[in-house]
Amino acid sequence: MINYYILLELHNFAAMEDVKAAHRRLSKQYHPDLNQGNRAAEEKFKIVQHAYEQLKDPVRKRNYDDILRANIYRQYYNTTSSTNTGNSTYSRPQPAAAEPPPPSPKQVKRDLYLKLAVAAGIVVIIVLGVIFGKEDNLASRLKAGNPSGIIIQSDMNTTDLGFQANDTNDDVRNIIGEPDTKVYGQGGLEIWVYSKYTVFFQNGRVVGCIRTAKQQLR
């Protein structure tokens, strides 16, 4: 925005008397008749006349003052609202965010169920760790050739499963398939664990079969 007061070498919102006096003084100073051949003086004279035309009418001057005042305020507001200090920038504080609404009873119940499910999962993991920890100890004893405390005896008729004592492990595999778990010990001991029973081998031959193998092995 052009500041006509500055062009007339006046302060902002100068009175009409000051505007007229500045116009007379500058017109005389830069008049072409007194500055023949001076291109800069000629341009300055035209600028002074244009500025005076905008301010000589009281109504037009009042409207211009209102616009200038709003522009100055806007520039000042934008400058003070964001001030750079070193590498930091200070901005106007933003309005605080609205607090979230309290959770509904349905949400509270869902969160409670979720916490209970997590707690139950932790308990299951602990129990499984204890159970399989015992089985790992059993496997260690078997691999060490010391299956103490384990009695290999049949409490079910192996012929019901399609094989019998002294059958080879290949025979058992062909009849009931691969086991879920295999445990090997020294001296040719081998244990095949299925979901409902466990088969014991000695040197590749069936020597026993028990139900609910995991309960027996614990």
Sign for the CA dihedral angle at 128, 129, 131, 136 comes to positive
How far is the CA of 136 from the CAs of 113, 114, 132, 144, 211, in angstroms? 34, 32, 6, 12, 20
207 and 144 in a common domain: yes
pLDDT, position 194? 85
Residue 20 lies in a domain: yes
Residue-by-residue DSSP string for 136-162: HHHHHHHHTT--TT-----SS-GGGGT
141 and 73 in a common domain: no
Residue 161 lies in a domain: yes
79 and 9 in a common domain: yes
The domain in which residue 155 lies consists of: 130-217
Q: What is the pLDDT of residues 45-75, one digit of tens each?
A: 999 999 999 999 999 999 999 999 998 888 8
Query: Could you tell me the two tokens for 186?
Result: 């020294």
Of 83, 113, 145, the residue at which a domain comes to its end is: 83
74 and 14 in a common domain: yes
CATH number for position 58: 1.10.287.110
Positions of the chain with pLDDT lower than 70, given as ranges: 80-99, 121, 123-159, 212-218
79 and 134 in a common domain: no
Q: How many domains are contained in the chain?
A: 2
pLDDT, position 212? 53
Of 47, 62, 83, the residue at which a domain comes to its end is: 83
Query: Could you tell me the two tokens for 35?
Result: 């500055």
Asked whether 8 and 55 are in contact (CB, 8 A), the reply is: yes
pTM beyond 0.85, yes or no: no
Q: What is the pLDDT of residues 31-41, one digit of tens each?
A: 999 999 999 99
CATH number for position 180: 3.30.1450
